[in-house]
Chain A
Amino acid sequence: MVWVETKLCGLLSRAMLADSSGDASSLWASVPLAAKVLAAVGLLIVVAAVVLGKIPFRYNVRNLFVRWKTTLSTGVVFVLVIALLTATQAFVNGMYRLTEASAREGNVMILSEGSTDEVFSNFGFSDINDIANQPGVLRDALNAPLCSKETYLIVVQPRRNPKPDGPQRRFIQLRGVEDPAISGVVHGMDLHDGGAWFSSVGVERRDVDGSGKKDDVIQAVIGEGLASELGRDRTEAERKAAKNQDRLAVGDVFELRDRRWLVVGVMKSAGTTFDSEVWAKQSLVGPMFGKVGFSTLVLRTQNDAAAEKLKEFFNTDYKKAAVTAYVEREYFDKLNQTNQQFSYAIGFIAFWIAIAGIAGTMNTMFAAISQRTKDIGVLRIVGFARWQILLSFLIESLFIALVGGAIGVAIGSLVDGSTMTSVVSSGQGGGKSVVIVLSVNAAIVAQGLLLALFMGGFGGLIPAINAMRVRPLESLR
């Protein structure tokens, strides 16, 4: 219960912060046009009802309570549909936020010509330094170009203590970097307290298991998502004895390719694609996995305008090496292909479930009207106009939808902040395995409520028209 309260309070405060910081307009802008039109129509109906005349609201509300079982079952349909939509949209939104957060303003990503994914890119050594020294690339205090030289690999790790019926190995994204401090600056990546970037040799001798025997262990910096996943491989006893029970921490060791790897730092990488990565010395890991050259260069420039200019230079004028340059944001946008696919799938499922919801609402409202034909006759005789009857029944249906939708959004929003594994990819091979933080925002809340209103409005409209056409004398006969 406390967890639920915390979640809802967190969401509420975020929404309020968004309003106070002026983000509300951008959130409104992110709501689809169809939803905005629907909202405007809904608002128009309510305004018309309030301004133009009397509607027997109290009668409608009382009826909802009299037929509480039917009202409840119809309302629960709204709750389920909207909760499902909210949770699934939070997943897609989390994917978009992940790719957005992974890109940094002013960064240019260089891959070998024609590559759309790091996994297929391969540079010769001679190409590298000239690219890094181009004008426009920022430099650090020691006048070294802010160029992160990287080799991206997907490697296989046999799982420790796997479940008998589960996968026996996992894929780990390994990024060999030449100078981790520079790569950290370029990607804006910091380490959790107590951590440090690996040394210039990237390896150290250490007695890791307390046996008195020292081994060469490879120093590695890992994303916190991966640290959690690897932490779950430990036995219960190991976890209890560990410094950090939730994830691997500095000083912990894991195995990869029959070697021991020492965690020297954990990156503050939550919500980025680096969350599932291991960073280690390129000159060690490249040859170890048969990829000697670099796959990726990331150059830091002043801002996006400078990055755009540098990208154009590499793609059109640069002749010393065959490269394809992307502004980093553009590269990560390409990885949204998977997100778009899931987005379409969710839209498709939501559409069909909404139709079922509409059918359910229609049934409820048709029954409500057939039971209350005499009531409608009386209302007409005492002076209520046809359009008032229509609005009265429409509002009844919209009321169930709004309450059900609001509860559905609230329940669906409980997934906010939880994590899930998935893949982001450009859809042309490659891709990255990532840990996604599910995220509910105002646009998702608005979409959920508007879908509920649409279902309620559409489901209630035809029965309400029927109610409007009831002839008073005939109904009372």
Chain B
Amino acid sequence: MKLFLLIARNVRRSYVRSGLTVLGTMVLVFVMTLVWSILAFLGDAMAEKSSNFKAIVTERWQIPSQMPFAYADSLSQGAATKPDDVRPTDSMTWQFYGGTTEKGTRTRENTVFAFGMQPSKINTMMDDLDSLPAKEAAELQAVIDKLESNRQGLILGRDRLAALKKQVGDRITLYGINYKDIDLEFEIVGTVPAGRYDNNAFFNRDYLLAAIDQYNDKHTDPHPLTEKSLNLVWLRVPDAETLRKVTAQIDSSSDYTNPQVKCETQSSGISAFMEAYSGLIWAMKYVLSPVIFVTLALVIATAISIAVRERRTELAVMKVLGFRPWQLLLLVLGEATLLGLIGGGLSAAATYVVVNIVMGGLKFQIGFFAAFFIPAAAIGWGLALGGGAALLGSVMPAFAARSVKVAEVFSKVA
């Protein structure tokens, strides 16, 4: 306890030095927390789950995947045809529709990429939206109900709604980018809870299917995407064994030959997409993170070694008073660690609050991930980073303090 009081008193002795050290620690832990949050999210997305799998069925040989809508029903059942075939516990289909609010002019602001799907699947199959807190889940359910009852409804992400300068209740016309000459008129019926879908939109797939039919009725040639309107089918399966059986059912089915399809886990699909960023992810993990950590350790080491040098006389007096060398070592290590823990913990907690609550996520597009959030575990990372770097940085100054020679110090003083 006495030692701890001494440590606390030492920290308070030079507010400037302690303040600068905590500031340095805070900013570096802040950067590390952001970088690690992105890495942790990507790592989690690419890691194979042990249960409650999601599988993706896509066209086998090319992206963007484009399959006939006729595949939708049977693929949603995991190609199960016989009574003893295995079926997914849930499923959803995705049909991508890109459009602009101004005909012929495309800007970042006026472009909307929307998922055409069954409204009821938004809160049972979409990542994050399937696990909302009760209040947000109820709000989303109310919006989904509107989408069920209004085939021309559109649910927009908050950032997209702001970029379009529209409000819930407004009507917009989207001029097709990929579905050329198929323009869709929508009524904005609500927004998605803040998060990773801030720039996306959802609409009822029946509306797109009806629009394609309408186009084909009016033209002699069918729309080029008529037989390519199904982009992805998502399946939820309880375990790896079920996934293996469903994959085998789909692979062996003769219904999916032109085009062929493939079924893979969500993580495997994401890993393939993220492969292009592998160099960047590697650099974040093995270059950026270590450099920041070492910089942090050095900033702390500099401050602590200065403190030790300034207190050589005092340390010698302490030795004379009976303090053991290991106690002096602990004193210095403790002082550094305390500063590191304060700086690291404060920084990570502040980053968590600012990024998640104030900013609504870190907007940084990597692949199809547009926003990242700071996990609650980041507060632990901050403490570990700050404390760890401080401990590492103070080892040498602490040993210098431990081996202060009383006679040498007093001979200089004399």
Residues of A within 8 A of B (CB): 69-70, 73-74, 76-77, 80-81, 83-84, 87-88, 91, 112-116, 119-120, 122, 153-156, 166-171, 257, 289-290, 322, 338, 341, 345, 349, 352-353, 355-357, 359-360, 362-364, 366-367, 370-371, 420-423, 427-429, 433, 436
- One of B25, B27, B228, B278 near A290 (C-beta < 8 A): B228
Q: Is the CB of A167 within 8 A of B275?
A: yes
Given contact pairs A83-B291, A289-B62, a sample of 14 additional A-B residue pairs in the complex whose CB atoms are under 8 Å apart: A76-B298, A84-B287, A112-B180, A113-B104, A154-B63, A155-B63, A156-B61, A168-B264, A290-B259, A359-B27, A360-B299, A370-B310, A428-B111, A429-B98
**Least CB distance, A350 to chain B, in whole angstroms:** 10
Q: Is the CB of A363 within 8 A of B180?
A: no
26 residue pairs A–B, Cβ–Cβ below 8 Å? A73-B302, A73-B305, A77-B295, A80-B291, A80-B295, A81-B295, A84-B288, A114-B106, A120-B178, A167-B275, A168-B272, A170-B272, A170-B275, A171-B272, A257-B61, A338-B365, A341-B365, A353-B28, A360-B302, A363-B20, A363-B21, A363-B306, A364-B306, A366-B17, A370-B310, A423-B367
- In the complex, what residues of A have CB within 8 A of residue B268's CB? 167-168
Question: Given that A353-B31, A422-B276 are known contacts, is A359 also in contact with B21, CB under 8 Å in the complex?
Answer: yes
User: Residue of B at shortest CB range from A122?
Assistant: B224
- In the complex, what residues of B have CB within 8 A of residue A81's CB? 291, 295
Interface residues of B in 240-298 (CB under 8 A from A): 259, 262, 264, 268, 271-273, 275-280, 283, 287-288, 291-292, 294-296, 298
- In the complex, what residues of B have CB within 8 A of residue A153's CB? 62
Question: Given that A70-B306, A364-B306, A366-B17 are known contacts, is A155 also in contact with B62, CB under 8 Å in the complex?
Answer: yes
Instruction: Please measure, in the bound complex, the distance between the C-alpha atom of A114 and the C-alpha atom of B99, giving whole angstroms.
Output: 10
Instruction: Please measure, in the bound complex, the distance between the C-alpha atom of A289 and the C-alpha atom of B268, giving whole angstroms.
Output: 22
Instruction: Please measure, in the bound complex, the distance between the C-alpha atom of A376 and the C-alpha atom of B262, giving whole angstroms.
Output: 76
- One of A77, A87, A357, A367 near B287 (C-beta < 8 A): A87
**Least CB distance, B105 to chain A, in whole angstroms:** 8
Question: Given that A115-B177, A359-B23 are known contacts, is A427 also in contact with B271, CB under 8 Å in the complex?
Answer: no
Instruction: Please measure, in the bound complex, the distance between the C-alpha atom of A289 and the C-alpha atom of B302, giving whole angstroms.
Output: 61
Instruction: Please measure, in the bound complex, the distance between the C-alpha atom of A83 and the C-alpha atom of B283, giving whole angstroms.
Output: 13
Instruction: Please measure, in the bound complex, the distance between the C-alpha atom of A88 and the C-alpha atom of B284, giving whole angstroms.
Output: 10
- In the complex, what residues of A have CB within 8 A of residue B63's CB? 154-156, 171
- One of A77, A119, A367, A422 near B298 (C-beta < 8 A): A77
**Least CB distance, A303 to chain B, in whole angstroms:** 28
- In the complex, what residues of B have CB within 8 A of residue A367's CB? 17, 306, 309-310
- In the complex, what residues of B have CB within 8 A of residue A114's CB? 100, 104, 106, 175, 177, 180
- In the complex, what residues of B have CB within 8 A of residue A166's CB? 271
Q: Is the CB of A364 within 8 A of B302?
A: yes
- In the complex, what residues of B have CB within 8 A of residue A83's CB? 291
Q: Is the CB of A167 within 8 A of B24?
A: no
User: Residue of B at shortest CB range from A349?
Assistant: B31
Instruction: Please measure, in the bound complex, the distance between the C-alpha atom of A160 and the C-alpha atom of B51, giving whole angstroms.
Output: 28
Q: Is the CB of A167 within 8 A of B295?
A: no
**Least CB distance, B413 to chain A, in whole angstroms:** 15
- In the complex, what residues of A have CB within 8 A of residue B305's CB? 69-70, 73
- In the complex, what residues of A have CB within 8 A of residue B294's CB? 80
B303 within 8 A of A: yes
Question: Given that A156-B60, A290-B259 are known contacts, is A73 also in contact with B298, CB under 8 Å in the complex?
Answer: yes
Instruction: Please measure, in the bound complex, the distance between the C-alpha atom of A421 and the C-alpha atom of B278, giving whole angstroms.
Output: 7
User: Residue of A at shortest CB range from B98?
Assistant: A429
User: Residue of B at shortest CB range from A436?
Assistant: B279
Residue from the set A167, A356, A421, A429 with the largest chain B CB neighbour count within 10 Å:
A356
**Least CB distance, A114 to chain B, in whole angstroms:** 5
Question: Given that A345-B364, A356-B24, A429-B98 are known contacts, is A363 also in contact with B61, CB under 8 Å in the complex?
Answer: no
Q: Is the CB of B20 within 8 A of A362?
A: yes
Chain B interface residue count, Cβ-Cβ cutoff 8 angstroms: 63
Secondary structure dominating the interface of B? helix
B91 within 8 A of A: no
- In the complex, what residues of B have CB within 8 A of residue A120's CB? 98, 177-178
- In the complex, what residues of A have CB within 8 A of residue B202's CB? none
Q: Is the CB of A423 within 8 A of B306?
A: no
- In the complex, what residues of B have CB within 8 A of residue A113's CB? 104, 180
B373 within 8 A of A: no
Q: Is the CB of B292 within 8 A of A171?
A: no
Instruction: Please measure, in the bound complex, the distance between the C-alpha atom of A355 and the C-alpha atom of B60, giving whole angstroms.
Output: 50
Instruction: Please measure, in the bound complex, the distance between the C-alpha atom of A275 and the C-alpha atom of B152, giving whole angstroms.
Output: 44
**Least CB distance, A75 to chain B, in whole angstroms:** 10
B2 within 8 A of A: no
Instruction: Please measure, in the bound complex, the distance between the C-alpha atom of A97 and the C-alpha atom of B228, giving whole angstroms.
Output: 37
B64 within 8 A of A: yes
- In the complex, what residues of A have CB within 8 A of residue B295's CB? 77, 80-81, 353, 356-357
B407 within 8 A of A: no
Q: Is the CB of B364 within 8 A of A341?
A: yes
8 nearest A-B pairs in the assembled complex, by CB-CB distance: A359-B24, A420-B279, A367-B306, A433-B276, A360-B299, A356-B24, A359-B20, A73-B302
Instruction: Please measure, in the bound complex, the distance between the C-alpha atom of A367 and the C-alpha atom of B280, giving whole angstroms.
Output: 39
Instruction: Please measure, in the bound complex, the distance between the C-alpha atom of A114 and the C-alpha atom of B176, giving whole angstroms.
Output: 9
Question: Given that A422-B276, A429-B113, A433-B276 are known contacts, is A353 also in contact with B292, CB under 8 Å in the complex?
Answer: yes
Instruction: Please measure, in the bound complex, the distance between the C-alpha atom of A357 and the C-alpha atom of B25, giving whole angstroms.
Output: 10
- In the complex, what residues of B have CB within 8 A of residue A352's CB? 27-28, 30-31
Instruction: Please measure, in the bound complex, the distance between the C-alpha atom of A357 and the C-alpha atom of B291, giving whole angstroms.
Output: 12
B359 within 8 A of A: no
B301 within 8 A of A: yes
**Least CB distance, A338 to chain B, in whole angstroms:** 8
User: Residue of A at shortest CB range from B297?
Assistant: A73
- In the complex, what residues of A have CB within 8 A of residue B24's CB? 355-356, 359-360, 363
Interface residues of B in 136-187 (CB under 8 A from A): 175, 177-178, 180
Q: Is the CB of B279 within 8 A of A356?
A: no
Q: Is the CB of B28 within 8 A of A356?
A: yes
**Least CB distance, A414 to chain B, in whole angstroms:** 12
Contact with A along B312-328 (1 / 0, CB 8 A): 00000000000000000
- In the complex, what residues of B have CB within 8 A of residue A360's CB? 20, 24, 298-299, 302-303
**Least CB distance, A435 to chain B, in whole angstroms:** 9
B82 within 8 A of A: no
Instruction: Please measure, in the bound complex, the distance between the C-alpha atom of A109 and the C-alpha atom of B384, giving whole angstroms.
Output: 53
Q: Is the CB of B61 within 8 A of A155?
A: yes
Q: Is the CB of A420 within 8 A of B283?
A: yes
- In the complex, what residues of B have CB within 8 A of residue A322's CB? 180
**Least CB distance, A465 to chain B, in whole angstroms:** 13
User: Residue of A at shortest CB range from B22?
Assistant: A359
- In the complex, what residues of A have CB within 8 A of residue B412's CB? none
B16 within 8 A of A: yes
